[in-house]
A and B are shown apart, each in its own frame.
Chain A
């Protein structure tokens, strides 16, 4: 018998209210549908009444975690429209800020993923190390989130040479911790049993469903905006695109962990190579036309399209956030999975998380049971505990519940 489980309208994990209708047969998921926009902010429409400089602050507020990615994509669209070339120093500053953001975003994801499967140690550790990056942001920009570093034509604030030492010191502190993390996550048999083979996404499906970012790379699709459409200082430093096979939750965790190490490498080189000079190329005039800007956000490709009518206010701004492209992959990913794994699979594409309200279970059109956040988490943790019992010598490797 088929049963529909609505996950939402306040999503257990995503801060935007969204509704997933998960159709299950017994313990296994057979289909999923998505409904959104319960709190549509109309940012594209608001942008049609703001000037180009103001929109940077507006798009910065699309996402609290990707708060550099959207401004970079928007600024690149304005620079594409006006044919502006940004100064070299601004390129390096953009790369440093974007990579610091990637590190803290991936650590945030890792912590939450640990929480959902009942490994609270991972959660505490990774959020502790994320503090290093947030503190750096506070020193550089004055804010832990929403840094307001970007401006069309360059960057709004400089990174002072006196800050370089602190950035390098934080990277030196972070790198061994990440290596320790990789070892701890990949050596734990329960985590492997819990994540490996869960929510599989084949390479063909990843391409067919137009996925981007770590979701695509974990399924073996070798795409990365930083390399394919070089921007900022990514073509001036040495780094590599991380890909993995399988597309399951474990593959996504591995891709994100290894990407943190690449980000550390990029930041170190940027600090070494950053030249002196101006940080902004003033844009004096915007002619009628159109521009496209893309950016590799922690979650995948951000896409901004601008149509200008020659005034200081654009005619149309189109924003495509990475999660929009990664959501269709759920249809392949969920089929045949357990209800207890819903949490971690929904979390796996790293949508913007949030607090939960409720999940109602409906059978034969009548609501019979309410699953709240606590119950969903308990279901997930119970599965981890059951796995622990079945795997010998598993206990004691990481602190459990």
Chain B
């Protein structure tokens, strides 16, 4: 591992790839990136700077699907999280599994649970969900909260319509 300031190095290397840098504390850095540049940035972090890939987190927000890739610079004690927001309803981002071996399982997991498509994944088959699980139903999305057994899209639309008519309190 090379002892350099990861944020300054990233800013110098990808002047237009980084949208926002937030240094929350001396050991936590959140970097918003352009989703199209994710493979370039991850390759630079993992192969050139020697960061360790911890895991990816996916969460649903109003802006779209947010995918965070967490990297650790162990010798410096700095945890860098790359934040990429991809638009709904068809979230799609480049896969980093060809670069980082340890990312293969988590990308398949996010594919199952959130329905994010990872373009270029070497083995994009189901990982967590059963083989007979219906297509297009993603259990960790917010629309499924408190709605088990899950409802069809028509039923969901009915419920949304009822809520719209009732108005918010």
Which A positions have Cβ atoms within 8 angstroms of B? 34-37, 40, 42, 44-45, 48-49, 80, 207-212, 223, 228-230, 290, 292, 294, 301, 303, 305, 307, 315-316, 318, 320, 324-325, 327-328
C-alpha gap A315/B128 in the complex (Å):
22
* Besides A207-B50, A208-B101, A320-B55, 6 other A-B contacts (C-beta < 8 A): A209-B101, A210-B102, A230-B77, A301-B54, A303-B55, A307-B59
Q: What are the interface flags for B121-164 relative to A under an 8 Å C-beta threshold, 1 for contact and 0 otherwise?
A: 00000011100000000011000011000000000000000000
For the complex of A and B, list the 3 residue pairs with the smallest distance between their C-beta atoms, beginning with the closest. Answer: A210-B102, A37-B128, A320-B55
Q: Which residues of A contact B100 (CB under 8 A)?
A: 210
Q: What are the interface flags for B31-64 relative to A under an 8 Å C-beta threshold, 1 for contact and 0 otherwise?
A: 0000000000000000000101111010100000
List 21 interface pairs A-B (beta carbons < 8 Å), by A numbering: A37-B128, A40-B128, A45-B139, A45-B140, A80-B25, A207-B50, A207-B52, A209-B101, A210-B52, A223-B52, A228-B74, A228-B75, A229-B79, A290-B30, A292-B79, A294-B79, A305-B57, A316-B59, A320-B55, A324-B55, A328-B101
* Given contact pairs A223-B74, A316-B57, A44 touches B140 in the complex (Cβ within 8 A): yes
C-alpha gap A35/B104 in the complex (Å):
12
| Closest beta carbon of chain B to A313's beta carbon, Å | 11
B68 at the interface (CB under 8 A from A): yes
C-alpha gap A303/B28 in the complex (Å):
13
C-alpha gap A312/B27 in the complex (Å):
25
Q: Which residues of A contact B139 (CB under 8 A)?
A: 42, 45
Q: Which residues of A contact B92 (CB under 8 A)?
A: none
C-alpha gap A328/B30 in the complex (Å):
27
Q: Which residues of A contact B145 (CB under 8 A)?
A: 48-49
Q: Which residues of B contact A303 (CB under 8 A)?
A: 54-55, 70
Q: Do A292 and B75 have beta carbons less than 8 Å apart?
A: no
Q: Do B68 and A305 have beta carbons less than 8 Å apart?
A: yes
Q: Do A328 and B75 have beta carbons less than 8 Å apart?
A: no
C-alpha gap A315/B79 in the complex (Å):
21
Q: Do A292 and B70 have beta carbons less than 8 Å apart?
A: yes
| Closest beta carbon of chain B to A288's beta carbon, Å | 11
Q: Taking CB as reference atom, which chain B residue is nearest A327? A: B105
| Closest beta carbon of chain A to B23's beta carbon, Å | 13
For B, the interface residue count at a CB cutoff of 8 angstroms equals: 34
Q: Taking CB as reference atom, which chain A residue is nearest B83? A: A290
Q: Which residues of B contact A211 (CB under 8 A)?
A: 102
| Closest beta carbon of chain A to B56's beta carbon, Å | 9
Q: Which residues of B contact A325 (CB under 8 A)?
A: 54-55, 102
Q: Do A305 and B70 have beta carbons less than 8 Å apart?
A: yes
A324 contact from B72, B75, B105, Cβ within 8 A: B105
Which B positions have Cβ atoms within 8 angstroms of A? 24-25, 27-28, 30, 50, 52-55, 57, 59, 68, 70, 72, 74-75, 77, 79, 81, 100-106, 127-129, 139-140, 145-146
Q: Which of B25, B72, B146 has the most CB of A within 10 A?
A: B72
Q: Which residues of B contact A316 (CB under 8 A)?
A: 57, 59
Q: Taking CB as reference atom, which chain B residue is nearest A294? A: B79
Q: Do B55 and A228 have beta carbons less than 8 Å apart?
A: no
C-alpha gap A320/B139 in the complex (Å):
18
Q: Taking CB as reference atom, which chain A residue is nearest B25? A: A80
Q: Taking CB as reference atom, which chain A residue is nearest B123? A: A33
A229 contact from B27, B106, B127, Cβ within 8 A: B27
Q: Taking CB as reference atom, which chain A residue is nearest B59? A: A316
Q: Taking CB as reference atom, which chain A residue is nearest B76? A: A228
C-alpha gap A229/B72 in the complex (Å):
10
Q: Which residues of A contact B30 (CB under 8 A)?
A: 290
Q: Do B105 and A34 have beta carbons less than 8 Å apart?
A: yes
Q: Do A37 and B129 have beta carbons less than 8 Å apart?
A: yes
| Closest beta carbon of chain A to B127's beta carbon, Å | 7
C-alpha gap A276/B100 in the complex (Å):
47
| Closest beta carbon of chain B to A96's beta carbon, Å | 23
C-alpha gap A127/B139 in the complex (Å):
41
B81 contact from A34, A223, A292, A294, Cβ within 8 A: A292
Q: Which residues of A contact B127 (CB under 8 A)?
A: 35-37
| Closest beta carbon of chain A to B139's beta carbon, Å | 7
* Given contact pairs A37-B129, A45-B139, A228-B77, A318 touches B102 in the complex (Cβ within 8 A): no
| Closest beta carbon of chain B to A54's beta carbon, Å | 16
C-alpha gap A40/B70 in the complex (Å):
23
Q: Do A320 and B105 have beta carbons less than 8 Å apart?
A: no
Q: Which residues of A contact B140 (CB under 8 A)?
A: 44-45
Q: Which residues of B contact A80 (CB under 8 A)?
A: 24-25, 28
Q: Which residues of A contact B70 (CB under 8 A)?
A: 292, 303, 305
